[in-house]
Chain A
Amino acid sequence: MRIQFKTSYDHDIRLFPDRHSLLVYGALIVLALALPLLINEFYIGEVTNVLIWAIAGLGLMLLTGQTGQASLGHAAFLAIGCYANTILIEQGVPFVLAFPLAGVLTGVVGAIIAIPALRLHGIYLAIATIALSILADDIIVLLEPWTGGVSGKFPDVIRLFGIEIERWTMPVRFYYLVLGVTVISTLFYRNLLRSPLGRAFAAVRDSEVSATAMGVHIARTKATAFGLSCMITGWAGALMGYYAGAFNNETFSLVISITLLMMIVIGGLGSIHGAFFGAVVVAFLPQGLSILKDSVLGSGVAIPGLETGVFGMILILFILFEPMGLYGRWLKIRIWFELFPFARKDMFRRQKSYLKTERLR
């Protein structure tokens, strides 16, 4: 059993709670760096996919998990990041500048969109963002001179400090690029949580009334959360564009938005681990299912819609039995071991609660 003795308030906001976790995450980074030596190029591509989904998940997690605003329109921001990056590079901006700029641009657009959306709570926000997701598809077609419309676009080979990076011919280099962005995004997220702004996010999520009473400017905090969330999502979008190799108006559809939201729920809302766990599920579920289907029914039997159906069922089970997601399950197992003889089953029982109307806010 490991006990953290906190002797000062600064201990609450340390980057790593103790030396043990520093060691664990350090080992994880070393493993990630050494991965291309351990597995072949096909699997490196798959891992890259997981990482890109994880970045997108981090983006949405910041908004939904941390600030409590469910968005069903994040595919639109993925699209903005992707198109902004590609168009900037076409204009001759080097990748080193274009890529961060694409994220910032997405963030600015997100914050601007958030200003009218700030008046909306929970369900209304979700619906407004659905509309956004649907609009994005049509707007991309309407802006054909820039976006290529239905015929789509192909991202150029990345040139980073004279090194060429391409997803198909050099998957290992692309992997390292994505890994770098992942680490930066994760550190950014983690550091944000340690800052006053991050705590303001949590306060807004838990109770807007108490947050106001504590001097948090609700509207500004929500808009900032939207902007920062969209920035990370924009980066993920740009990387998704490179990973796909070609994209058009249908690449970033409402389904992607929904998948993204479901992903962070399966992973565990409000935790960085959750984004990664969820990404692993989303990226490997299709393969896993097809392998399972082939072994049960024999290959060649096609069941349309099986993937989404199973995905939906998994999700329902998670919300019913494990609302904290995979991360919650992992936490429970860990705590069981840490407390070994003293762990009790009802420690995590959900409290009884009653709903009060949200109409009168």
Chain B
Amino acid sequence: MDGVQLLVSGLANGCVYGLIALGFVLIYKATEAVNFAQGDFMMLGAFVTLGLTNAEYLDLPFWVAAPLSIAIMAGLGYLLDLLILRHLFGQNQTAVVILTIALGFVIRFFAGAIWGHEPQTLESPLALGDVQLAGVVLGLADIAVIVVTVLLTWSLYQFFQRTKLGLAMQAASQNQMAAYFMGIPVRRVQGLIWGLSGATAAVAGILFASKGAIDPNAGLLGIKAFAAAVIGGFGSLPGALAGGLIVGVIEPFAARYLAAGYSQIAPYVLLLAVLVFRPHGLFSQVRTKKV
């Protein structure tokens, strides 16, 4: 039963990584850039919800605050694109990488200045209660995380596969000029995708904060989500979820069965191994171009 318990809690953790990784993949799929600040977006989303919900701040009901903060984060993502990222249009990836790292610093600073650096808990209805299922204890939050993640991944996957806008987003990333010629408003499409990833980050943040405390440095979790996105294959939405689950499951098992020093490095060793043997990830969408 020990193993099952580890597996389930690992899956719940992995879903949070998967959700953050989903944000990376969304942006990468649609703009070919990588948002290194995604983890900090997640943290900000959690804090916005906390600021709306908790008694000492605005004291709104959770079910009003959660959609509101998702909307706020979506707007923020769009605004960010409008004010900052649009100026880098067509520049190389390194510039975007460094810009988003810097953005992460700034977000962390502002979150710390507004909400303080102490860990806080979100007063969420999900945080209460455990469910006992065949000898395995499950937090209500864990179940919520798993359900929401699977639903979100599925609907985003459908969005990219089936809808016109989703296809436009993919086209815009592969060749901006060609997309323009086909009548796709590339800049607006990119703004929308940043908004969408902001919303995803807010969902991840709310779920993460429901599982435990949140502080401005929680954004560093983004690095583990990176590992997840790369393991799954940058650019593949189900891959991001799978990568998140793999990282999430490996962690508790490594902590249980390996010596102390070796357990923390397990996800990164896996990451390096994947990069060496399958550079584009396990669920790669790339097929080698034949000339």
Contact = CB atoms under 8 A, between A and B. Distances in A.
Interface stretch (B101-109, B145-153, B201-209): B101-109
A262 B102 contact: yes
Interface in B151-208: 173-177, 180
Contact of B105 (A68, A312, A320, A354): A312
A323 interface: yes
Given A123-B97, A262-B102, A359-B286, A305 B91 contact: no
Nearest to A125: B275
A124 B109 contact: no
Interface of A: 64, 68, 70, 116-117, 119-120, 122-124, 126-128, 130-132, 134-135, 138-139, 141-142, 254, 258, 261-262, 265, 303-306, 308-313, 315-316, 319-320, 323, 352-361
Contacts of A313: 102, 106
B192 to A, nearest CB: 17
A304 B116 CA distance: 9
B288 to A, nearest CB: 8
A352 B90 contact: yes
A355 B98 contact: no
A262 B101 contact: yes
A315 B173 contact: no
A122 B286 contact: no
Interface residues of B, number: 56
24 contacts: A70-B97, A70-B98, A117-B275, A120-B275, A122-B93, A124-B230, A127-B227, A128-B272, A135-B269, A303-B113, A309-B105, A309-B106, A309-B108, A309-B110, A313-B102, A315-B98, A316-B106, A319-B88, A320-B87, A323-B91, A323-B95, A354-B177, A359-B280, A359-B286
A304 B271 CA distance: 33
B132 interface: no
Contacts of A128: 271-272, 275
B261 interface: yes
Nearest to B267: A131
Contacts of B110: 309
Contact of A306 (B89, B91, B109): B109
Given A265-B98, A356-B174, A304 B106 contact: no
B278 to A, nearest CB: 10
Contacts of B279: 119-120, 124
A9 to B, nearest CB: 30
Nearest to B99: A319
Given A124-B275, A128-B271, A320-B87, A138 B264 contact: yes
Q: What 5 pairs between A and B have smallest CB-CB spacing?
A: A309-B109, A312-B105, A315-B102, A353-B90, A312-B102
A210 to B, nearest CB: 15
A131 B98 contact: no
A70 B94 CA distance: 7
A120, A135, A355, A359 — which one has the most chain B CB atoms within 10 A of its CB?
Answer: A355
